[in-house]
C-alpha cells in the first residue's frame, strides 16, 4: 500500500523531517524557500506527489491558509496540522466547509514561551538591550553610579492578560522573583490553578493595579488592538508592557507614543502586527526590547511541536482516528 502524500510547507527540525520521510511520501521544502507565503503556490505543491495529491499538509504560523488558499487545495487534502498553537492564520470555517480537519500543537511550548516573556521582562526592566548596544558600539566608559538605572522586579505587581498555560508558567517564574500576581481572563480559574494570583473582572481595575502587563491572548477580531490608547491611559505611570502573544493585539501607534513620552517606561515585544514587518516607530526607541518571534525557539520545544504535529497526521492518515490535538 503506498504511503500517504504529506506536504511540508517549511523546513522542519531534522528529527521531524526524518520521521515524516519514514512514514509518508513527502513533498518538502528542504531549503525553506519562500513559496510557502503564496497560497496559490501551496495549493500547487499540494497537488504534487502522485496519488491525487497530498492527503495532509504540515503547515506553520504565518502560512496563508485563508479561504482562497483552502478553496484551491486538491480534493485529496484531509487534514491541516499546524506547527503552532495559534490558528489565526487558518480560515477554520473554510476548512470545515471542505471537511478538512485542523489540528495544532498545544501544551508543548508553554514553558519556552514563558521563558521568552520573562527574558523580555528582565531586558525591559533592567535596560539590558541599551547596555548591550552601548558595549557593542564601544561607548561604555566604565561603571558609573547613575548609569542605565532600571527598576527591580522584586515586589512589583505583574498583571497577566490571558491566564492560560503560558500565562500560568509566566506567573510561576515571577513568583520566584518576589512579584505579586494579578490576572485578567475571560473567566476566573479554579483556586488550585490561580497560584495565589488575584483575579480582576474588569480591564480598568486590572490595568490600574499592576506595574507590568504581560500579554498572552490570541489574535483575531475580538482582540485586535486590545492595548490601545484608552487602556494605556488606565495603566500606572511608568508601567512596563510585554507581549509574546500576538502582535495584532497591540495598537502600535498608541504604544509607541506612550514609550516616547515615558507614560510607559519600557516594553518587550516578541511578536508584531504584520510580522516580519516591524513598525518603524519602535526601531529608534531605546526603551523597547525587540525579539524575532523566539517564543518556542528551543531545540527541545520545536522537536516536541513537530512530533505532536506528526501525531495529529498519523492518527488521521495512518490509523483513521481523530487527531489528539483537534481544533474545534
Which positions are annotated as active-site residues? Answer: 246, 275, 293
* Residue among 290, 298, 237 nearest 264 (CA): 237
Is 29 in contact with 10 (CB distance < 8 Å)? yes
Is 9 in contact with 29 (CB distance < 8 Å)? yes
DSSP H or E stretch at residue 6:
strand 5-8
Is 92 in contact with 116 (CB distance < 8 Å)? no
Residue 83 main-chain phi, psi, to 5 deg: -80, 60
Sequence-ordered alpha helix ranges (H) in the chain: 14-23, 39-46, 67-72, 92-97, 110-126, 128-136, 165-176, 191-194, 203-209, 229-233, 252-261, 280-283, 299-317
> Residues in the chain, how many?
328
Sheet with 56-60, side-by-side order of all strands? 25-27, 5-8, 56-60, 79-83, 101-103
Rounded to 10°, the helix 165-176/110-126 angle is 50
Q: Is 92 helix (H, G, I), strand (E, B) or coil?
A: helix
Amino acid at each position: 500500500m503506498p504511503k500517504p502524500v504529506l506536504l511540508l510547507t517549511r523546513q522542519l527540525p531534522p528529527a521531524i523531517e526524518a520521521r515524516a520521510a519514514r512514514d509518508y511520501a513527502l513533498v518538502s521544502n528542504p531549503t525553506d524557500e519562500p513559496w510557502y507565503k503564496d497560497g496559490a503556490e501551496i495549493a500547487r505543491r499540494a497537488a504534487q506527489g502522485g496519488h491525487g495529491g497530498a492527503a495532509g499538509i504540515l503547515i506553520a504560523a504565518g502560512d496563508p491558509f485563508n479561504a482562497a488558499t483552502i478553496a484551491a487545495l486538491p480534493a485529496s487534502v484531509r487534514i491541516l496540522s499546524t506547527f503552532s498553537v495559534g490558528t489565526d492564520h487558518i480560515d477554520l470555517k473554510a476548512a470545515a466547509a471542505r471537511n478538512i480537519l485542523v489540528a495544532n500543537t498545544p501544551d508543548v511550548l508553554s514553558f519556552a514561551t514563558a521563558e521568552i516573556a520573562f527574558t523580555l521582562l528582565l531586558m525591559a526592566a533592567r535596560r539590558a538591550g541599551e547596555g548591550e548596544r552601548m558595549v557593542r558600539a564601544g561607548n561604555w566608559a566604565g561603571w558609573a553610579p547613575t548609569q542605565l538605572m532600571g527598576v527591580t522586579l522584586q515586589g512589583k505587581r505583574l498583571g497577566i492578560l490571558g491566564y492560560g498555560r503560558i500565562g500560568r508558567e509566566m506567573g510561576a517564574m515571577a513568583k520566584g522573583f518576589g512579584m505579586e500576581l494579578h490576572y485578567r481572563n475571560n473567566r476566573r480559574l479554579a483556586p488550585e490553578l490561580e497560584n495565589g494570583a488575584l483575579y480582576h473582572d474588569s480591564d480598568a481595575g486590572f490595568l490600574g493595579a499592576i506595574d507590568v502587563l504581560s500579554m498572552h491572548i490570541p489574535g483575531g477580531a475580538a482582540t485586535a488592538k486590545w492595548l490601545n490608547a484608552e487602556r494605556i491611559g488606565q495603566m500606572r505611570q511608568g508601567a512596563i508592557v510585554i507581549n509574546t502573544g500576538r502582535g495584532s493585539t497591540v495598537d502600535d501607534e498608541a504604544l509607541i507614543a506612550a514609550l516616547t513620552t515615558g507614560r510607559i517606561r519600557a516594553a518587550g515585544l516578541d511578536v508584531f502586527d504584520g510580522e516580519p514587518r516591524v513598525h518603524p516607530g519602535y526601531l529608534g526607541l531605546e526603551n523597547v526590547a525587540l525579539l524575532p518571534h523566539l517564543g518556542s525557539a528551543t531545540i527541545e520545544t520545536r522537536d516536541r511541536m513537530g512530533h505532536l504535529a506528526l501525531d495529529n497526521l498519523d492518527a488521521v492518515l495512518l490509523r483513521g482516528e481523530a487527531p489528539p490535538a483537534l481544533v474545534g
